[in-house]
Amino acid sequence: MNDIVLAMRARGIKSSAVRELLEFSKNPDVISLAGGIPASDLFDMDGIDDTLGAILRDEHRDLFQYGLTEGEAGLRQQIGNWAGTLGIPASPESILITSGSQQGLDLVARVLFDQGDRVLVERPTYVAALQVFQFIGARIDGINGGPDGLDLDQVERELKRGGVKAIYLTPNFANPTGYTMPLAQRIRLVELAQRHGCAIIEDDPYGQLRFSGAAIPSLLSIASQQPGGNRTVCYLSTLSKVFSPGVRVGWIVPPAALRPPMAVAKQAFDLHTSTLTQNIVARYLASGRLTSRIDVLRTAYRTRRDALTKALRDAFGNDLSFNEPEGGMFLWCRFARQVPAEKVLEAAIREKVVFVPGNAFYASDPERDTLRVSYSMLGEQSAEEAARRLKRAWDAVVRD
């Protein structure tokens, strides 16, 4: 008897470090700075219940039937309206509904990349984007970044080398860094990508969670102002961070030429996203409650950011450095004296606090003294306790 042989791309694929840490996070004694997930105590349960109640009162048989691959017309209308108020040019006809933003990423990648095609990503970048590109067999090249944006000279050199199909980035409050790309950079990046026939995959799950400073136009809106409209940017967003991740509803605005092949591809991947959850989101958007809910989220996450940054400064002094993001859920930190974060994590697990070592977010050549901490789930008291535990873990490693 012979055993089944896996596809090459599936051999040795590893679960993400973030996922493995979930095991520890489930222990109620452990304080988790690891998960980049929205706080469920901030879900608009009244709005959700009103929505479900209204669905139950109206005719709702069709919400349990098959639907269109592109997504429910009513939802695309509502998302188009909402996006319009945010300055994001998304007509209902341009939108494709996805089963969460993760599927959007996989969908764009599968329609763009052949084995060996190149993709440029910021160093460091979203770990599940790396998983998608690796599964596709794309060649991933890291671009140096920082609080002031990407190294666009490096981007230009890489584009001139050829073979680059796309640039992937999260321009607002990136995961893991919390960095935001300045406007001048955005304009130049769109221009570079257009000149080289390279797609920009603009991943924007956190854009609405801005605490301070002014919103910056999306790469999509910059590209849409070109003659002939957007031929460059695949804009990805989701309801996961502002409404609910459990409904798995995301959306893409691709260049017009990409939408038909993407719709056919999605048909092969999962036929369509749940008719029921799409209609829940459409109804909730129609209720107009999202705007005030986002205000609630902004205030809450800013408070949590402030609590954690203060607690970390008080506990660590100069032994830990980090940025102060204007939005989103993450602090990108660096231990002093080049102490490896993975080593601190071992001690931290004993102290009952977890975070994600930064090496998970690099396709190659990780900077091992980095770490991502999330404040999204933390109250003020937990923040102080988390910082104290983390400091004890650090002390234990440094003493060694």
Residues 258-297 that bind its own copies (CB under 8 A): 258, 261, 263-265, 267-277, 280
Cα separation, 230 vs 253, whole angstroms? 10
How many Cα atoms are found within 13 Å in the side-chain-facing hemisphere of 304?
25
Answer yes or no whether residue 379 interacts with its own copies by CB under 8 A.
no
Q: How far is the CB of 350 from its own copies (least distance, A)?
A: 25
Among 27, 81, 91, 115, binds its own copies (CB under 8 A): 115
Helical packing angle, 380-399 and 290-316, nearest 10°: 40
163 or 288, CB closer to its own copies?
Answer: 163
Cα separation, 251 vs 104, whole angstroms? 7
Helix extents (H) in 137-274:
152-161, 183-195, 219-224, 259-270
What track of x and - describes contact with its own copies for positions 309 through 338 (by CB under 8 A)? ------------------------------
Answer yes or no whether residue 214 interacts with its own copies by CB under 8 A.
no
Answer yes or no whether residue 256 interacts with its own copies by CB under 8 A.
no
Among 32, 78, 102, 172, binds its own copies (CB under 8 A): 102
C-alpha torsion angle, residues 48, 54, 57, 61 (rounded to 10):
-80
Answer yes or no whether residue 17 interacts with its own copies by CB under 8 A.
no
Q: How far is the CB of 264 from its own copies (least distance, A)?
A: 5
Among 198, 222, 236, 356, binds its own copies (CB under 8 A): 198
Among 29, 56, 58, 400, binds its own copies (CB under 8 A): 56
Answer yes or no whether residue 58 interacts with its own copies by CB under 8 A.
no
Among 15, 85, 318, 338, binds its own copies (CB under 8 A): 15
Answer yes or no whether residue 20 interacts with its own copies by CB under 8 A.
no
Total number of residues that touch its own copies (CB under 8 A): 85
Could you tell me which residues come within 8 angstroms of residue 134 by beta carbon, excluding any fewer than 6 positions away? 13, 140, 363
Q: How far is the CB of 64 from its own copies (least distance, A)?
A: 4
34 or 315, CB closer to its own copies?
Answer: 34
Strand partners, 331: 373
49 or 324, CB closer to its own copies?
Answer: 49
Cα separation, 250 vs 103, whole angstroms? 8
Enumerate residues 342-371 that contact its own copies by CB under 8 A.
none
Helix extents (H) in the chain:
17-25, 45-57, 73-85, 100-112, 127-136, 152-161, 183-195, 219-224, 259-270, 275-286, 290-316, 341-350, 380-399
Strand partners, 70: none
By the 8 A CB rule, do 89 and 73 touch? Answer: no
Cα separation, 289 vs 237, whole angstroms? 19
Cα separation, 80 vs 86, whole angstroms? 10
Answer yes or no whether residue 52 interacts with its own copies by CB under 8 A.
yes
143 or 190, CB closer to its own copies?
Answer: 190
2 or 364, CB closer to its own copies?
Answer: 2
Among 30, 31, 33, 67, binds its own copies (CB under 8 A): 67
Enumerate residues 75-94 that contact its own copies by CB under 8 A.
none
Answer yes or no whether residue 161 interacts with its own copies by CB under 8 A.
no
Residue-wise over 146-165: b if at least 16 C-beta within 10 A, else e? Answer: eeebbbbebbeebbeeeebb
255 or 340, CB closer to its own copies?
Answer: 255
130: nearest Cα among 95, 100, 105, 159: 105
